[in-house]
Structure 1
Amino acid sequence: MSIATPALSVLDLVPVRAGQTSAQAVAASLSLASRADELGYRRYWFAEHHNMPAVASTTPPVLADAAAARTSRIRLGSGGVMLPNHSPLVVAEQFAALEAIAPGRIDLGIGRAPGSDPVITQLLRQSGTTSDVERFPDHVRDILSLVSAEGASVRFTSGGTYDVHATPAATTVPEVWLLGSSDYSAQLAAAVGLPYVFANHFSGQGLERALEVYRSGYQPSEAHPEPRTFVTANVIAAPTADEAEARALPNLRMTARLRTNRPLIPLETVEQAVAGAADFDGLGESFMASARANWFVGTGDSVAAELRDFAGRHGVDEVMISPIAGSYEAESTDAAAGRVQTLELLAAELGLAA
């Protein structure tokens, strides 16, 4: 299948580089969201991760609210809310409120993974039975009911019901997506009749299988009569291939740290990454090589061509990019020059509707 010009969207983990405060990292991401809106990107999602020195994206609904105040067209949401960490009612209320703030522009992407280490996961899940991962399908269905105009009903064993609404008078609802990096969420999304996104930027393995499971098993729903999906990718575009590869180094080295269980640190600058080139042994180098093979790194025209091919091979009309370009030490800590550059170059090459 050939996709002439796939739509582009953005996934943001709000990276924190060396010497940068959380406030500066958030300011840089909000500025990036505003620029994505101006350039014609379709949606902008914030991830949920916890207790990581290089990631400030802990609360997607808070960040989406701040982005809503700085944008006018782009869809905003979560990629995703890690549902086992939260009460379904709280999630439903947060995103119903966002939908009231920016009607018709809110996406609620839901994931099943914890998004952190076991200690933080335990702290987040001190909420009784709502933390039961095995009840994930029930909690997804609960949210779908709670955000609808009809609401949900609690049925008592002694008889009778109690109506619950995430918001008093909804006229529009957030669009719910299921996210995953295995067949599990693909199967659930198909069974419930929801849109689905495979976390290719995170895993890179099993994409074809997950899409086949989703599409072949899809059960139409009233809101979504046809299966709907897009793919994610780690992306860096720069004026030259050499610059793009240099800007990839900080995140490649962060990947090696994660895979080899080294202490996590703020994202290195390009200069720090180059200076530490000998830090990793063969295993670390292999992890970096494996990650790099799954990323899209190069000039604007080369990356745009690769993304067109990627979308065509997987039969989707949209690619959500995670712009992971690192920063040089001289670049402002209040902005993300490499990430802005990536968005601008790809928008120009793919002719996004600015």
Structure 2
Amino acid sequence: MNPSPAPALSVLDLVPVRAGQTSAQAVSASLDLASVADRLGYRRYWFAEHHNMPAVASTTPPVLVAAAAGRTSTIRLGSGGVMLPNHAPLIVAEQFAALEAIAPGRIDLGIGRAPGSDPVITQLLRMSGTPSDVERFPQHIRDILALVSPEGATLEFTAGGTYDVHATPAAQTTPEVWLLGSSDYSAQLAASLGLPYVFANHFSGDGLERALSLYRGQFRPSEAHPEPRTFLTVNVVAAPTADEAHARALPQARMMSRLRGGRPLVPLETVEQAAAAEASDLLAAPILEGLRQRWFIGTGAEVAASLRSFAATHGVDEVMLSPVSGSFDAEAMDAAPGRIQTLELIAAGLN
């Protein structure tokens, strides 16, 4: 029996910050990881948008995409995603039109509906007004699609007359827009607009099958996308041995427990710090089994085989990896060897 075809691989990066690490070191490690993904033939590399989290330095996807563009040559770069309630649609369109000019044909604009932060930070992000309220999310998506196109958008005044608006004055290519989400709403909106869709399976696997069914069943073909197009995100850790992989997964598991339990957030622990703390406080113990069932942890061959099966089960030809491999105490602050070996081992296992 022939094995299922190998899915294309992509990367989702939150730019993790470990204990004792500076933002500059964390960003440097992530840019090195983007270079590795480019060298290994990964399809795309996306940066997330989160705010005011001690363990996450990915606050501004456009800035990170621009930096990664200078370090890569073929991989697609984008946002996973820009949280539209935090931004005016014109600003988003202008930023990604500029990125498309920097790296033509390589830019993805992934858009999400959640604010990606707590209520206080959400208010700070909106101090200059209400740039993109959730209720108008569908219209703002349409606005961005028009603004980044070479034709631009046309405003019609109630008193008569029109006004043309372009995100950039002379676009020849445009970023590819994706809708992101973990709910029925995003799946149905992407289907109605004829846009590609990504289910945030790395964050919550609940409702995956239903979301994909709704998206595929309700999809309305568009000029750019005559058929539904989707891929899935997953948390992964690969190492030379399964024991090392599970050890490197523990810091992120403990962070997830803090998030779910409403506990104070801290920078990511190192592998040794996480193991020592878990032995006494059992912070991750209540959720570990559930995480292990949804995360892909093991040797490169084991994870690759599981990813191949996962992609076939859900009918996708691409899987976006969120490499959540923690660092040992002795590993350099400006590098992420655990995340690098995760990408290398999985890529080798699928080839």
Q: Normalised by the shorter chain, which TM-score bucket?
A: over 0.9
Mapped contact 1:3–1:316 kept (Cα < 8 A) = no
Partners in 1 of 2:4 and 2:323 — Cα distance? 21
Matched letter for residue 140 of structure 2: H
The answer to whether 1:344 aligns with 2:344 is yes
- RMSD over aligned Cα, in angstroms? 1.3
Alignment of 1:181-200 (within 5 A): 181-200=182-201
Matched letter for residue 206 of structure 2: Q
Mapped contact 1:231–1:319 kept (Cα < 8 A) = yes
Alignment of 1:29-68 (within 5 A): 29-68=30-69
Match of 1:128 in 2: 129
| Unaligned ranges ≥5, structure 1 | none
Matched letter for residue 143 of structure 1: I
What secondary structure sits across from 2:278 in the alignment?
A: coil
What secondary structure sits across from 2:309 in the alignment?
A: helix
Partners in 1 of 2:229 and 2:292 — Cα distance? 28
Matched residues, percent identical?
76
Q: TM-score, normalised by structure 2?
A: 0.98
What secondary structure sits across from 2:100 in the alignment?
A: helix
Partners in 2 of 1:249 and 1:129 — Cα distance? 39
Match of 2:102 in 1: 101
Mapped contact 2:132–2:140 kept (Cα < 8 A) = no
Displacement of 1:154: 1.3
Match of 1:168 in 2: 169
Displacement of 1:153: 1.0
Match of 2:332 in 1: 332
Displacement of 1:204: 1.0
List, as ranges, runs of 4+ consecutive aligned residues in structure 1 with deviation greater than 6 Å: none
Partners in 1 of 2:188 and 2:3 — Cα distance? 26
Displacement of 1:231: 0.5
What secondary structure sits across from 1:277 in the alignment?
A: helix
What secondary structure sits across from 1:131 in the alignment?
A: coil
User: What does the per-residue CA deviation read over 1:24-83, in whole Å, with 9 as the maximum and x for residues that have no partner?
Assistant: 000000000001000000000000000000000000000000000000000000000000
What secondary structure sits across from 1:36 in the alignment?
A: helix
Matched letter for residue 325 of structure 1: S
Match of 2:80 in 1: 79
Match of 1:152 in 2: 153
Displacement of 1:304: 0.2
Displacement of 1:279: 4.8
Displacement of 1:285: 2.5
Give the aligned length: 350
What secondary structure sits across from 2:234 in the alignment?
A: strand
Match of 1:253 in 2: 254
| Unaligned ranges ≥5, structure 2 | none
Match of 1:315 in 2: 315
What secondary structure sits across from 2:209 in the alignment?
A: helix
User: What does the per-residue CA deviation read over 1:175-218, in whole Å, with 9 as the maximum and x for residues that have no partner?
Assistant: 00000000110000000000000000001111110000000000
The answer to whether 1:117 aligns with 2:111 is no
Match of 1:287 in 2: 287
